[in-house]
């Protein structure tokens, strides 16, 4: 029996189509949702991510106020720009692409964004609201994982979900989302300090791998029929590719596809959902501003 592939590209396209429809309705009322993506420097991965976000903005009909600043931009200059965007009522969402150059304090920059425009869901106000179950902009990748489970028709209530990885970007927030009443999982969070991790992962009905290391999850760690969500994006050398590398996840896909019931591929699984949920959050920010 081979696992059912959860197609993130297809689900992300559905989300973007739904967002585009609502954007069109808002535009008819004289409001164009607008996102400002700030990129500092020339980090190749960051440039690629920002290009993907700009393409998605054009596709859903949103205004793009992206700003590309040189590597030499000072922290003060960046904070001044964020202040201007905070005060601009035509800008509904602000996203600062990480990582930033070493001379800029990332925490200070994220704190400077108005929480009502923090469509990445990283501001402590939004994180706090997520923790206590209040309305908040949800971090895009964790929210995308929940939507993937929903769209794949996977029953989550009462299931045991195991998350590998405790990052602020994926591991911790996805654990919180899985434990919410709407999703209703019992959640175990594993990390580098977890002993006998295989014993825990083998109990998982839903396994989320966000360790940031290739082939962290192998066949012997997965219960037959489990749902495996692979968040990892790891570059490994591959001379057959034009780029000289290929992308693989945190799971050994070939090893797992005959054991898991459902599995997300890399690329084409969780990745496309991140940008789709960013569009969703920006739309929500525009709707909130209108109210």
Binding-site residues from annotation for NADP(+): 165-167, 233
**Which of these is catalytic: 9, 22, 29, 97?**
97
Q: CA-CA distances (angstroms) from residue 65 to 68, 88, 119, 210, 257?
A: 10, 11, 14, 31, 42
Residue 135 — φ and ψ, nearest 5°? -65, 135
Q: Largest Cα–Cα distance of the chain, in whole Å?
A: 57
Give the 3-state secondary structure of residue 137.
coil
Catalytic residue status for 220:
no
Catalytic residue status for 53:
yes
Element (H, E) at 11: helix 8-28
Catalytic residue status for 155:
no
Annotated binding site: 165-167, 233
Q: What is the rounded (10 degree) CA torsion for 218, 224, 227, 228?
A: 10
Round to the nearest angstrom and report the end-to-end CA distance of the chain: 50
**Which of these is catalytic: 120, 205, 230, 250?**
120
Known catalytic residues are 53, 97, 120
């Amino acid at each position: 029996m081979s696992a059912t592939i959860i197609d993130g590209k297809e689900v992300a396209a559905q989300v973007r189509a739904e967002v585009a429809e609502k954007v069109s309705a808002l535009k008819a009322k004289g409001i164009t949702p607008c996102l400002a993506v700030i990129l500092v420097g020339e980090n190749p991965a960051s440039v690629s991510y920002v290009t993907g976000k700009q393409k998605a903005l054009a596709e859903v009909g949103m205004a793009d106020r992206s700003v590309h600043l040189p590597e030499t931009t000072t922290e003060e200059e960046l904070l001044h720009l964020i202040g201007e965007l905070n005060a601009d009522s035509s800008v509904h969402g602000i996203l600062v692409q990480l990582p930033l150059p070493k001379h800029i304090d990332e925490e200070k920059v994220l704190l400077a964004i108005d929480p009502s425009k923090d469509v990445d869901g990283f501001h402590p106000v939004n994180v706090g609201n997520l923790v206590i179950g209040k309305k908040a902009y949800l971090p895009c990748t964790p929210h995308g994982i929940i939507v993937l489970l929903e769209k794949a028709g996977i029953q989550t209530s009462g299931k045991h979900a195991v998350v590998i990885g405790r990052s602020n970007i994926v591991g911790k927030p996805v654990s919180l989302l899985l434990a919410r009443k709407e999703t209703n999982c019992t959640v175990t969070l594993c990390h580098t300090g977890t002993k006998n991790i295989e014993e825990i992962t083998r109990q998982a009905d839903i396994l989320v791998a966000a360790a940031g290391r290739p082939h962290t999850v192998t066949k012997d760690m997965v219960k037959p029929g489990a749902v495996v969500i692979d968040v990892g994006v790891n570059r490994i050398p591959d001379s057959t590719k034009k780029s000289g590398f290929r992308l693989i996840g945190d799971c050994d896909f070939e090893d797992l596809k005959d054991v898991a019931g459902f599995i997300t591929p890399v690329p084409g699984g969780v990745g496309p959902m991140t940008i789709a949920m960013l569009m969703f959050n920006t739309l929500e920010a525009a709707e909130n501003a209108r109210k």
